[in-house]
Amino acid sequence: MNNVVSDRIKKAIEKSGYSFIELEKRTGFSKSALQRYSQGVTTKVPVDVVNAIGGATGVSPFYLIGWGDDPNYFPLKDVKDKSIPLYSSICCGAGLFIDENIEDYIAVPDRYINSNKEYFANIAKGDSMIGKGINDGDTLIFEKTNVLESGQIGSFCINDGNDCVCKIFRKLNNGMIVLESANPKYDPIIIDVTNECFRVIGKLVCKFSGVE
């Protein structure tokens, strides 16, 4: 877990003077869950938990989540006011995003997104993109688009729409599309452009660690 998040949650709770039993009543989250978040035992901190702890302790959720250094900064009601959906999976056969597959919502600072565009998030799995600083468990934020330039990192649906992968997009002079990993132990994926199940679904705009 991101130590900044867990450390700030712990300090906010200690400064409030509330016991975990009292915080359980004030936040609606169990004593054991709150203890795990403050101790860094749980690897991800949901946005709703950050907002609830901030509201109960009087500390800015933006501060708790590590986006600022002022615990008294409250620009919005909560960080979920600037949030995008985190998909557990995406129906890619027709290039569609299915609401039933939304797992949570990710709060994202204004500087990373454009209010006129749509975004979605996925959790990185594995080590195929470590050469680009993308590690297992990172939260990846994508702008919804079906157009990428060669060399950009994107989210793609392949294998009859059953797999959603994050790779480097390459379009060769002969029109062939190649999806590259950023780890030499993985071979590139050669795309048959006649396969209608292949879809470009997003362009990577930023990534976060420790918060979901």
Among the listed residues 6, 38, 60, 128, the single catalytic one is 128
Residue 204 forms beta bridges with which residues?
142
DSSP category for residue 188:
P
- Give the DSSP H/E element, type plus range, for residue 143: strand 139-144
Is-contact 5 211, C-beta < 8 A?
yes
Spell out the alpha helix ranges (H) of the chain. 3-16, 20-27, 31-39, 47-57, 61-64
Q: Is 82 a catalytic residue?
A: no
Among the listed residues 6, 60, 82, 167, the single catalytic one is 167
- Measure the CA–CA gap between 50 and 29, rounded to whole angstroms: 11
Q: Is 80 a catalytic residue?
A: no
3-state secondary structure of 157: strand
- Measure the CA–CA gap between 169 and 181, rounded to whole angstroms: 9
Closest CA to 87 of 120, 47, 44: 120
Active site residues: 128, 167
